[in-house]
Amino acid sequence: MAIEIERKFLVKNEQYKNDASEQVRITQGYLNSAPERTVRVRTKGNKGYLTVKGISSESGASRYEWEKEIPLDEARALLALCEPGMIDKTRYLVPQGKHTFEVDEFYGENQGLVVAEVELTNENESFDKPLWLAQEVTGQTRYYNSVLMRRPYASWE
C-alpha cells in the first residue's frame, strides 16, 4: 500500500519562481470527490494520470495514494466526465536541501492561491524551510484540490 506523507504551506512571495528547477501546467478534475476516496484525472504537460486517494490521517499529513500514467487522450476524455469544477494551476518544482517543494499557483476561481507541499518519509521528518513559506495548512481540508473545485478560493470570505 502506497502511503503519501506531505505537509502543506501557504506561500508569501514569488521567490519560489526564481528557485524553481522546472514548471508544468496541470489541469485536473474529479470523478469522485468523496473524502473517503477521491478519484482524480489529471493532465500534466503532455501526460495523463489517474489517481485514487484515501481519507487523510488524523494529522492530515498521511493518506493512501495510488497513481497510474494513462494516455493523454484518455485523460482528456475522462476530464469531460468529471464532477463540475476544474483545477487549473502551474506547478513549480523547487529543490530545498534534500527535499523538493511542489508549489502550485492556481488560476480561474482559485486565482491568488499559492500552496507549497513537501513529501516526507515520515510525519516527523525534519526539512529545510525556505523563506517564502508562510502558515502551515496541513490537514485543513479547504486547501485540498478536491474541495477547491467545489468551493473555490474566490468564494472564501
pLDDT tens-digit profile, the chain (157 residues): 589 999 999 999 999 999 999 999 999 999 999 989 999 999 999 999 999 999 988 888 899 999 999 999 999 999 999 999 999 999 999 999 999 999 999 999 999 999 999 999 999 999 999 999 999 999 999 999 999 999 999 999 8
For the record, the C-alpha cell of 65 comes out as 495514494
In the prediction, which pLDDT does 56 show? 87
Nearest to 8 by CA among 83, 118, 87, 109: 118
Catalytic residue among 30, 92, 143, 144: 30
pTM of the full predicted structure? 0.94
Nearest to 24 by CA among 5, 44, 6, 53: 44
In the prediction, which pLDDT does 49 show? 98
For the record, the C-alpha cell of 36 comes out as 473517503
In the prediction, which pLDDT does 47 show? 98
For the record, the C-alpha cell of 143 comes out as 486547501
CATH class of 3-155: mainly beta
In the prediction, which pLDDT does 52 show? 96
Cα–Cα distance between 139 and 35 in angstroms, integer? 12
- Asked whether the CA dihedral 141, 2, 68, 97 is positive or negative, the reply is positive
Q: Quick check: is 144 catalytic?
A: no
For the record, the C-alpha cell of 134 comes out as 508562510
Model confidence over 71-81: pLDDT tens digits? 999 999 999 99
Bridge partners, residue 45, by sequence: none
Collapse the DSSP code of 26 into the 3-class scheme (helix H, G, I; strand E, B; otherwise coil) and give the result: strand
Domains of the chain, residue spans: 3-155
Residues 6+ apart with CB under 8 A from 157: none
